């Protein structure tokens, strides 16, 4: 191959990559990225499975003695939980009665499907992970959570695989509120694993240990999902509090996650706001 | 076809190892990028045009695994692989230390391009940790050299076996 051909090929390839870079913002997946994820996803899952198998065998040898004791403890725990379930069933009935009485609509979290984590991006500044959901198809912007709280949202999907941007990423921004006072702010990461609640004016009351949850104002995350607790507050010279939040989720022990599927807004309201493709917002009657 | 399958297998193994290592401890892949090792190895073995193409594919694989801007590693690895291949073509390399030096240069170029592009193109970019980057460059070039030396030894062993086989046939005749 001639020298000229080599140079032309190199320039074309570099231009192609620059085009890819210019086309998509950091958090939106392109079609090529989705296709690439679709190819790499299964390899990631096989490697993850192999690692789990190796670790499982090693752990079973290591913990053979303690497993028996743990089994016994778990059986006792199961019995205790069964008893608790009876109590909760009664409490649920009672709550339904009260709801009916107050004519209040229950706050539903929505439908979800489980997913397993197959790869965690080791990059120090970007916090993403790849999940595999055999029971569902993750879609762009769907919230992802664990049993302990909010984890992030889907930014790229490819079949059963999806890339999730964690709330600890520097570019993440979640509408959040302090559970005790309902004071709202924006929560986001610093890229180093820390979480910061911003835009809470300095004159408002915040104390260490306050629970932080989603406010549901961003159109992505439903309200009431636990995010973390206030770890430290400093005012500095700004008009806002500088609030450090300890995440509810332990990002070092992630395994099973859940993807929320139900849209936050009802179909009618989505149609009214023209969020459904093909729909047009209604014209106000008699309005100027 | 066989070469393509060999390349696909190498990429698959690199991704598998990358995920395996990440599963052991999330900090480990920051210090060793197996996909970059494969890119360096192929850059050293192939012609510039092939190196650029393979570097492009491997860079996009790196981008898919990371949460960064898609195309960033693609650009850097393509350029790094092409440059390595061009230098290798024009030099007479006898010693393993020369291989190591060239691969170290390629890894440095790739990492510098990633950091530079990030810094130039994106407003919220942060320069990567210097220690992590130096470790990544050193380990990737070392692993690339080890892979190259191992493949050279395998080839010479394979050739010796073939020559011996031919001599045996002649004696039996």
pTM: 0.58
Q: Which of B19, B20, B70 sits opposite A30 (nearest CB)?
A: B70
ipTM above 0.90, yes or no: no
CA distance A233 to chain B (A): 25
CA–CA gap between residue A21 and residue B59 (Å, rounded): 13
Number of Cβ atoms within 10 Å of the Cβ of A187: 27
What tens digit of pLDDT does each residue of A52-84 get? 777 777 777 777 778 888 888 898 888 888 878
Q: What is the pLDDT of residue B40?
A: 87
Local confidence band at B78 (pLDDT 50, 70, 90 cut-offs)? very high
Beta strands in chain A (DSSP E): 112-120, 128-132, 143-145, 150-158, 161-166, 174-178, 184-189, 195-198, 211-214, 226-234, 242-247, 256-260
CA–CA gap between residue B160 and residue B166 (Å, rounded): 10
A246 or B93, which is more confident? A246
Nearest CA in chain A to B69: A26
CA–CA gap between residue A106 and residue A100 (Å, rounded): 10
Position of tokens 């698959």?
Answer: B12
Q: Which of B79, B122, B128 sits opposite A124 (nearest CB)?
A: B128
CA–CA gap between residue A231 and residue A125 (Å, rounded): 22
CA–CA gap between residue A142 and residue A28 (Å, rounded): 13
Tell me if A235 sits within 8 A of A203, measured CB to CB.
Answer: no
What tens digit of pLDDT does each residue of A15-38 get? 888 888 777 654 455 666 777 777
The yes-or-no verdict on residue B148 having pLDDT over 70 is yes
Mean pLDDT on A197-220: 86
From chain B residues 98-137, the ones with a CB under 8 A of any chain A CB are 117, 121-122, 124, 126, 128-129, 132
Judged by a CB distance cut-off of 8 A, whether residue B87 touches chain A is: no
Q: Choose among B94, B85, B106, B118: nearest CA to B33.
A: B106
How far is the first Cα of chain B from the last one, in angstroms, to the nearest whole number? 35
A111 or B78, which is more confident? B78
What tens digit of pLDDT does each residue of B23-74 get? 777 777 777 888 888 888 888 888 888 999 999 999 888 888 777 778 888 8
Mutate: best of A11, A12, A14, partner B, most B CBs <10 A = A14
CA–CA gap between residue B56 and residue A9 (Å, rounded): 11
Return the percentage of chain A with pLDDT > 70, whole number.
80
Q: What is the pLDDT of residue B125?
A: 66
How wide is the angle at C-alpha A125 spanned by C-alphas A121 and A129, nearest 5°? 25
């Amino acid at each position: 191959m001639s020298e000229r051909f080599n140079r032309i090929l190199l320039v074309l390839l570099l231009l192609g990559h620059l085009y890819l870079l210019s086309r998509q913002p950091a958090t939106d997946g392109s079609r090529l990225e989705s296709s690439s994820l679709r190819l790499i996803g299964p390899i990631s899952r096989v490697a993850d499975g192999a690692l789990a198998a190796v670790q499982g065998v090693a752990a079973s040898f290591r913990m053979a003695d303690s497993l028996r004791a743990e089994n016994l403890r778990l059986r006792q725990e199961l019995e205790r939980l069964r008893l608790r379930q009876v109590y909760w069933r009664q409490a649920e009935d009672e709550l339904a009665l009260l709801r009916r009485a107050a004519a209040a609509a229950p706050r539903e979290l929505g439908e979800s499907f489980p997913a397993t984590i197959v790869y965690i991006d080791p990059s120090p500044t970007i916090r993403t992970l790849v999940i595999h959901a055999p029971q569902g198809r993750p879609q762009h912007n769907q919230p992802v959570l664990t049993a302990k709280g909010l984890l992030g949202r889907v930014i790229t999907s490819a079949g059963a695989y999806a890339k999730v941007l964690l709330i600890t990423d520097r570019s993440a921004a979640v509408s959040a509120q302090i559970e005790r006072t309902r004071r709202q702010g924006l929560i986001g990461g610093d890229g180093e694993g820390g979480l910061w609640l911003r835009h809470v004016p300095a004159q408002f009351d915040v104390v260490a240990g306050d629970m932080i949850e989603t406010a549901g104002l961003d159109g992505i995350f439903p309200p009431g999902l636990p995010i973390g607790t206030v770890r430290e507050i400093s005012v500095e010279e700004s008009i806002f509090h500088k609030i450090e939040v300890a995440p509810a989720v332990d990002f070092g022990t992630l395994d099973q996650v859940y993807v929320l599927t139900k849209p936050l807004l009802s179909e009618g309201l989505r149609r009214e706001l023209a969020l459904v493709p093909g729909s047009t917002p209604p014209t106000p009657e008699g309005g100027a | 076809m066989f070469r393509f399958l060999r390349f696909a297998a190498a990429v698959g193994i690199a991704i598998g190892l990358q995920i395996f290592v990440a599963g052991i401890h999330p900090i480990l892949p920051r210090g060793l990028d197996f996909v970059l090792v494969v890119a360096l190895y192929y850059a050293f073995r192939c012609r510039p045009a092939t190196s650029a193409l393979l570097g492009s594919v491997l860079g996009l694989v790196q981008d898919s695994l990371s949460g960064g801007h898609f195309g960033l590693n693609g650009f850097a690895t393509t350029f790094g692989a092409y440059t390595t291949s061009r230098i290798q073509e024009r030099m007479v390399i006898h010693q393993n230390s020369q291989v190591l030096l060239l691969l170290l240069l390629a890894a440095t170029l790739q990492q510098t391009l990633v950091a530079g592009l990030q810094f130039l193109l994106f407003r919220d970019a942060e320069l990567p940790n210097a220690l992590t980057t130096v470790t990544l460059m050193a380990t990737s070039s070392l692993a690339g050299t080890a892979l190259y030396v191992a493949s050279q030894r395998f080839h010479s062993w394979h050739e010796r076996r073939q020559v011996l086989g031919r001599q045996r046939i002649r004696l039996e005749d």
